[in-house]
Amino acid sequence: MIVWFLLLSLSTTSTQDGQENSVLRCGPQNVTLDYDSFLLKWEDDPSCSVIQDGLVYELQLLIADKPEHNGEVVVAPAQIGATHSWKWISHLPSQCARHSVRLRSQYNKQSSPWMEKTLPDQGEILVLPRDQILEVGSTATFCCMVPDGESIKTMFLYDYKSTNVTTTKISEHVHSLTVHLDQQSENWRNVECETTKGDINGASFHASLELDAAERNWTLTVTNPLGKLELHDRADLTKRVHVVAPDEVAASTVNPRNISLKWSWKGKKYSNLNLTCQVDVSDGNSNTKTENFGVGLTTAVIKDLIPHWNYDVRVRCGTAQHFWKWGDWSKSVKIHTKGDVPDALDVWMKVKEDQTVISWKVPLTSQSHGEIFDYKVSWAKTKDKNQSNQTNVSRSNHSLTLTLDPSEEHMVTVTARNINGSSSPSTIIIPRRNLDKSEVKTSWISGSNGSFFLSWPDRLNASCGYIVDWCPIFGNCSFEWMKVSLNRTHTTIFSKNFEDGRRYLLSIYACTEGAAVLLQRREGYIRETKIGGELFKLKYKQEDSAVEVSWEPIPLEKQTASIHGYILYYQDKSGNVFNVSTDDPGATSLTAKNLNISTYTFTVTASTAFGLCGNTSINVTLNPPADHLIVLILTSLGAVFLILSVSTIICYRHWACIKNKVYPPIPKPVLTEKWLTSPDEHTVRHFPFDQSHYREVWDVPELHDQFRPPQPVVGQDYMPFTFSQTPKGYYNKPLKKLQPSLTLPTTGLTSQPGLPSFPITDVFPNPSYNLIVQGEDQESQSHPEIQEGMPITDSECQPQSPEESFTTAELQEEPDSPIFCVSTYILLPQKSSK
* Phi, psi (rounded to 5 degrees) for 658: -65, -40
The residue with greater pLDDT, 793 or 265, is: 265
CA 138 to chain CA centroid, Å, is: 78
Q: What is the mean pLDDT of residues 273-287?
A: 89
d(CA 259, CA 313): 11
Residue 332: predicted pLDDT: 93
d(CA 718, CA 714): 7
Position 800 confidence tier, pLDDT thresholds 50, 70, 90:
very low
Per-residue pLDDT tens over the stretch 200-258? 888 888 888 665 556 778 888 999 999 999 999 888 777 788 889 999 999 989 999 99
Residue 670: predicted pLDDT: 64
Per-residue pLDDT tens over the stretch 485-531? 988 999 999 999 899 999 999 999 999 988 899 999 999 999 999 88
Q: What is the mean pLDDT of residues 100-104?
A: 88
Position 728 confidence tier, pLDDT thresholds 50, 70, 90:
very low
d(CA 796, CA 706): 9
Q: What is the mean pLDDT of residues 764-775?
A: 43
d(CA 328, CA 322): 17
The residue with greater pLDDT, 358 or 760, is: 358
Q: What is the mean pLDDT of residues 623-633?
A: 70
Position 390 confidence tier, pLDDT thresholds 50, 70, 90:
very high
d(CA 155, CA 146): 12
* Of 329, 310, 307, the residue nearest 318 (C-alpha): 329
- Under 8 Å CB-to-CB from 644, ≥6 apart: which residues? none
Residue 507: predicted pLDDT: 93
d(CA 155, CA 712): 185
Position 14 confidence tier, pLDDT thresholds 50, 70, 90:
very low
The residue with greater pLDDT, 396 or 185, is: 396
Query: Is residue 526 within 8 Å of residue 535, measured between CB atoms?
Result: no
Q: What is the mean pLDDT of residues 781-792?
A: 40
Residue 817: predicted pLDDT: 43
- Complete DSSP assignment for 348-368: EEEEETTEEEEEEPPPPHHHH
The residue with greater pLDDT, 497 or 750, is: 497
The residue with greater pLDDT, 186 or 555, is: 555
Position 163 confidence tier, pLDDT thresholds 50, 70, 90:
confident
Per-residue pLDDT tens over the stretch 439-453? 788 899 999 888 999
Q: What is the mean pLDDT of residues 47-73?
A: 82
Coarse DSSP helix, strand, coil percentages of the chain, rounded to the nearest 5 percent:
10, 40, 50
Residue 718: predicted pLDDT: 39
Lowest mean pLDDT among 320-324, 507-511, 619-623, 821-825: 821-825
Taking 90 as the threshold, does the pLDDT of residue 346 lie above it? yes
What's the whole-number average pLDDT of the chain?
76
Residues in the chain: 834
The residue with greater pLDDT, 668 or 277, is: 277
The region, left, alpha or beta by phi > 0 then psi within -120 to 50, assigned to residue 700 is beta
Taking 80 as the threshold, does the pLDDT of residue 687 lie above it? no
The residue with greater pLDDT, 797 or 147, is: 147
Neighbours of 773 (CB within 10 A): 24
Residue 94: predicted pLDDT: 65
Q: What is the mean pLDDT of residues 411-431?
A: 93
Q: What is the mean pLDDT of residues 316-341?
A: 90
H or E element in which residue 302 lies:
strand 299-302
Percentage of the chain with pLDDT > 90? 27
Taking 90 as the threshold, does the pLDDT of residue 2 lie above it? no
| E-assigned strand segments in 64-162 | 66-75, 83-87, 99-107, 110-111, 115-118, 126-128, 132-135, 139-145, 152-158
Per mean pLDDT, which of 23-37, 685-699, 799-813 is the most reliable?
23-37
Q: Is 205 exposed, middle or buried (0-12, 13-18, 19+ CB in 10 A)?
A: buried
Taking 80 as the threshold, does the pLDDT of residue 9 lie above it? no
